[in-house]
A and B are shown apart, each in its own frame.
Chain A
Amino acid sequence: MSPAYENDQVICRGLSFGYGGAPVLAQFTATFSPGLTLVQGFSGCGKSTLLKLIAGYLRPAAGTIELPGRLSPTDGNYQRTALGFVFQQLNLLPLATVRRNLELVGALAGLPARTVAARTRKYLGLLGLEAYAERRPGTLSGGQQQRAAIARALIKEPTVFLLDEPTSGLDDLNCRVIMKLLGEHLPAGCVCLVATHDQRLAALPHESLDFNRFLPVERHLVALA
């Protein structure tokens, strides 16, 4: 008797989605294995939309998404326990300290208090945020906030980790800290998708998905540039 098949990949099959006008994604199919995958493409090509579909924050007009552990993107349990998402902007609760932001997400994931405390120390340390743990997001720089958002997403050590332009607008130093974390400290078995057009991230060992080949919506800009 063979063991039951346990999927550890994110598999998109025939995904279609639009915001009311032309479709952003049409019959998109791809498989993402554990490890880092850079999703690259011009602005507006659908990178962020794909991440939101995988996160369950948007519902596809057509197609299916298979997730590790047979979870469904629309399952609240998936978002609480298995998903880490870093948005382009506004990632932190403004009235809570950095530590509280992490603890709240850890508690929502159902992690024991001891684990939450240990992981909070670990990721604040990896991202150089110990000194800012008791500060509210409004008092932090853009780079510090973005690092704190990554720490917040990692506290539950997600099986699906999605980052939308995590280094956009950040200086090289902040970028290198984030790259080091993504390169060396991703949780084991984690499917990590980074939507970016930041060429600095190309130095990371990664799989790559070039979105421009699916929907070259703004190819005319190449001629203009």
Chain B
Amino acid sequence: MKAWTLTAFYLWKDIWSRWLETPGAVLARLLVAVLLGALLLLAQAAFQLGERSLEARILRLGAQSLYLTEAVTGEPGRRPPLGALLAPLGERADLIALRQVPWVAQDEFGGEAVVLVYGPESLPALAPLLAGGRGHSVHLLAPTLPAGLPVSLHIAGADYPALTLAPPGWLARFAADRAVALVPVEMAGDWLQAGYYETTLALARDSDPAALRRLAAALRALLVLEDRPTAQLQTPEALLDELDDLRSLQTRAQTGAALAAGLVVAIVFGSIAVLEYRQNRYIVALLRSFGAPAGLLLLRYAGEALLVAAAAVLLARTGLAWVHAPLFGAAGFEPALLDRTLIDPYAWGTVWPAARWLLLGGALSVVPIAAALRQPVGRILQ
């Protein structure tokens, strides 16, 4: 045991001595590995932030929301409204079907509101909203008016008492940022006869992307079955596909880049190690002549390469963590995504998949040394 300790100690002294003698050799290796490590970690962080950004976008747009729109003109009574048609899907999704009629509601303050008519199929989903209506049938959802304010709305030549409600988030998909007058279908009378534009929001109860895709497929099948070619379906499937593509690209790109980086490290480290070995081969041969095992001598080169590669990973990680917020902030990522206490692209668990290839490259760089160590001692030493 003492023999291996003494030999290992001597070899470590040899490494340290050469680092001091030719700092350029070790710095070149370190610099190459730091640059490669930084590039890998930077790409990894960019992918991770991009993924989170897309996920946030999907959530904002309604990760579980499907929108169905249809413009109905002329004899609307001949075709059932979309909301009624989709009612059988009520077990799998909450439905809000609103029909925009070609009338504008005017309140007593001079404000205008889009008139949206709802049927019984939407009541379960609207119930929490309408619960604050205190017995009113018509409600005004206006962002500029306080909730709970009784107002009078003038629609199609008649006045209706209404109560203001706070507009829910999903309402933006029906009327952008305009005020909305919600009217039950029983009060709409013959307004619908002039035609309407119907928007149906289906909020899937299962958040699983596969369940969402199945629901979208069911909606499409229903539209085909009911011969409603003018109905337009909007789903987050494209965004989910984009997310899947991004994840797939991330996996492939990271694997490819990490392999390439590992290869570069192996070549650069290996080339420098061979040059150093040529300068140092007499000493290595002398140790071999004493009977020091070639494996132990090879471990010295592997240990040095791994040490430099590990130091490079550490430096790259520390450096990137330091510039993370300003760098990705300048690249346009939202500040909320750059909080490393929430999303840390430099956590060791995240860094390891990239780092291991650099370390493997370092370990593989000793292959030429292993070949050189097969040369007989007698051909080196005189």
Interface residues of A (CB under 8 A from B): 19, 48-49, 52-53, 55, 57-59, 76-81, 83, 85, 87-96, 100, 103-105, 107-110, 113
Contacts and interface: CB of A to CB of B under 8 A. Distances in A.
Contact of A81 (B10, B287, B291): B291
Given A90-B381, A105-B290, A95 B17 contact: yes
B291 A104 contact: no
Contacts of B3: 104, 107-110
Interface in B342-382: 376-379, 381-382
A107 B293 contact: no
Contact of A87 (B287, B379, B382): B382
Contacts of B14: 95
B129 interface: no
Q: 3 nearest interchain CB pairs? A: A80-B291, A57-B378, A52-B378
B340 interface: no
Given A88-B382, A104-B10, A55 B289 contact: yes
13 contacts: A55-B378, A57-B378, A76-B293, A81-B291, A90-B282, A100-B10, A104-B10, A107-B2, A107-B7, A108-B7, A108-B290, A109-B291, A113-B2
B290 to A, nearest CB: 5
Candidate in B287, B292, B377, B381 with the most chain A CB atoms within 10 angstroms: B381
Contacts of B13: 95-96
A83 B377 CA distance: 14
B283 interface: yes
Contact of A104 (B6, B293, B381): B6
A71 B305 CA distance: 36
B381 A80 contact: no
A108 B290 CA distance: 7
Nearest to A94: B283
A81 B287 CA distance: 14
B286 interface: yes
A68 B298 CA distance: 31
Nearest to A106: B3
Nearest to A82: B291
B289 A79 contact: yes
Given A91-B286, A93-B10, A107-B6, A77 B291 contact: yes
Interface centre among A48, A87, A91 (most CB of B within 10 A): A87
Contacts of B382: 48, 87-90
A19 B378 CA distance: 11
Contact of A108 (B282, B283, B291, B378): B291
A59 B376 contact: yes
Contact of B377 (A57, A94, A95, A108): A57
A25 to B, nearest CB: 13
Contacts of B2: 107, 113
A217 B10 CA distance: 42
Contacts of B289: 55, 57, 79, 85, 87
Contacts of A94: 283
Contacts of B293: 76
Nearest to A116: B2
Contact of A80 (B6, B10, B290, B376): B290
Contact of A93 (B286, B376, B379): B286
Q: Counting chain B CB atoms within 10 Å of each CB, which of A49, A89, A93 scores highest?
A: A93
A104 B7 contact: yes
Given A59-B376, A93-B286, A79 B10 contact: no
A109 to B, nearest CB: 8
Nearest to A87: B381
Contacts of B377: 52, 57
Contacts of B10: 93, 95-96, 100, 104
Interface string B212-231: 00000000000000000000
Contacts of A105: 290
A83 B290 CA distance: 8
Given A85-B289, A104-B290, A109-B291, 13 more contacts: A55-B289, A77-B291, A79-B289, A90-B282, A92-B286, A95-B14, A100-B10, A104-B6, A107-B7, A108-B7, A108-B290, A108-B292, A109-B3
Contacts of B6: 100, 103-104, 107-108
Nearest to A79: B291
Contacts of A89: 382
- Which of B13, B290, B379, B381 gathers most chain A CB within 10 Å? B290
